[in-house]
């Protein structure tokens, strides 16, 4: 039976306002909710939908509790509370423990009896698969990999030899961890490959999006600390270190040997050059290009807003002239006020 609002409040740490005996069975948006659904208001621009929603109950902040007569859960962070409610109402289905008959597991690998290994999985020698870990169809786990307890690998994840994946980490389909970093030395006009002998070390409670790639270290390890969240299609170069609780949106590229601090937020399609450091608590806007070390927390933006094409061409033309303008200003500054003609009417009698 679906839980009552009072039961949900106890489980997610919210307060009930109104009829706590109503039952809800799913989470929905204010616009699409119907009977039996609980909706949430996290963005104030949708507050008008509180008056028209057909939800059975809602999740709101204390300041918005008086805006609707519906039964409600009141929380300082409605969005986070909605996530907790969704986890209660829409629990993930865990596969049965065991190894699928089509999986190929090296005789030297260790697989916990509570782990679930899907069809056509390959697990290499000396790999160690932790308790209740789940490995989806078609995954390849290299030799010597350590996969922590309750880790979840969706289908077709590849983890190269020697990598370490922490407890409760989630890795989505198509992600590749531990492939060679882009290490090349030029000699005689040709490229000489530098062996990449480090590993990828991933902490606990990390989530790695679909088709994200994390290169192994050239000598030292590439490290993703606890509770880091990487979106889809993120590229992390060799020898990078990403601090705990940092979140990075899709299509971001991070060149090698970059160190990103704790609690950073990086918008989609940001491009971060290599061999630099970003301190704790930095926010980087989407599509921003970072070329230098950042030593002060704050919001950094380096992209130009979209304009109609003809206007953009005009602005671009003016930007190209800035260097010439700067040189002319510099020349004027060198002459200084001493060399300028006196202002009209400023002559004095001797």
Q: Which residues are the active-site residues?
A: 238
> Distance (Å, rounded) from C-alpha 290 to C-alpha 284?
9
> Distance (Å, rounded) from C-alpha 208 to C-alpha 221?
18
C-alpha 230 chain-centroid distance: 3
DSSP-derived secondary structure for 3-38: PBHHHHHHHHT-EEES-TT-B--EE--TTT--TTEE
DSSP-derived secondary structure for 170-224: EE-TT-EEEEPP--EEEETTEEEEPP----EEE-TT-EE-TT-EEEPPSSS-EEE
Q: Pick from 77, 94, 64: which is nearest to 12 by CA?
A: 77
Tokens of 44: 């104030």
Within the chain, residue ranges assigned H as helices are 5-12, 78-89, 309-320, 322-335
Render the burial of 102-137: b for 16+ CB within 10 Å, e for the rest. ebebeeebebeeebbbbebbbbbebbbbbebbbbbb
Residue 349 CB contacts under 8 Å (≥ 6 apart), including other chains: none
Distances (CA, A) of 50 to 5, 53, 215: 18, 6, 47
> Distance (Å, rounded) from C-alpha 14 to C-alpha 213?
38
Residue with tokens 């980490």: 169
> Distance (Å, rounded) from C-alpha 294 to C-alpha 69?
48
Burial class (CB in 10 A: 0-12, 13-18, 19+), 178: buried
């Amino acid at each position: 039976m679906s839980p009552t609002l009072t039961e949900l409040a106890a489980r997610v740490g919210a307060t009930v306002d109104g009829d706590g005996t109503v039952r809800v069975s799913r989470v929905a948006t204010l616009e699409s909710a119907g009977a039996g659904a609980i909706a949430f208001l996290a963005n104030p621009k949708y507050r008008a939908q509180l008056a028209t929603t057909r939800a059975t109950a809602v999740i709101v902040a204390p300041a918005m509790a008086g805006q609707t007569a519906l039964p409600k859960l009141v929380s300082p962070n409605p969005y986070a509370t909605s996530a907790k409610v969704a986890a209660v109402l829409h629990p993930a289905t865990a596969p049965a423990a065991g190894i699928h008959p089509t999986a190929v597991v090296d005789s030297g690998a260790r697989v916990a009896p509570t782990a679930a290994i899907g069809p056509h999985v390959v697990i290499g020698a000396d790999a160690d698969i932790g308790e209740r870990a789940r490995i989806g169809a078609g995954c390849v786990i290299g030799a010597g990999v350590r996969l922590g307890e309750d880790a979840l690998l969706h289908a077709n994840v590849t983890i190269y030899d020697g990598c370490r994946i922490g407890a409760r980490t989630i890795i989505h389909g198509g992600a590749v961890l531990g492939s060679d970093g882009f290490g090349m030395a030029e000699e005689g006009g040709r490229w000489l490959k530098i062996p990449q002998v480090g590993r990828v070390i991933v902490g606990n409670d990390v989530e790695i999006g679909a088709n994200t790639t994390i290169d192994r270290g050239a000598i030292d390890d590439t490290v993703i600390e606890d509770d880091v969240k990487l979106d889809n299609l993120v590229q992390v170069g060799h020898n990078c270190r990403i601090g705990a609780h940092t979140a990075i949106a899709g299509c971001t590229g991070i060149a090698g040997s970059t160190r990103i601090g704790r609690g950073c937020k990086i918008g989609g399609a940001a491009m971060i050059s290599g061999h630099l450091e970003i301190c704790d608590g930095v926010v980087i806007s989407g599509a921003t290009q970072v070329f230098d070390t950042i030593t002060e927390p704050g919001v950094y933006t380096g992209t130009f807003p979209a304009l109609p094409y003809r206007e953009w061409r005009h602005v671009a033309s003016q930007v190209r002239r800035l260097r010439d303008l700067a040189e002319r200003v510099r020349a004027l500054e060198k002459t200084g006020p001493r060399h300028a003609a006196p202002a009209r009417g400023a002559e004095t009698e001797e």
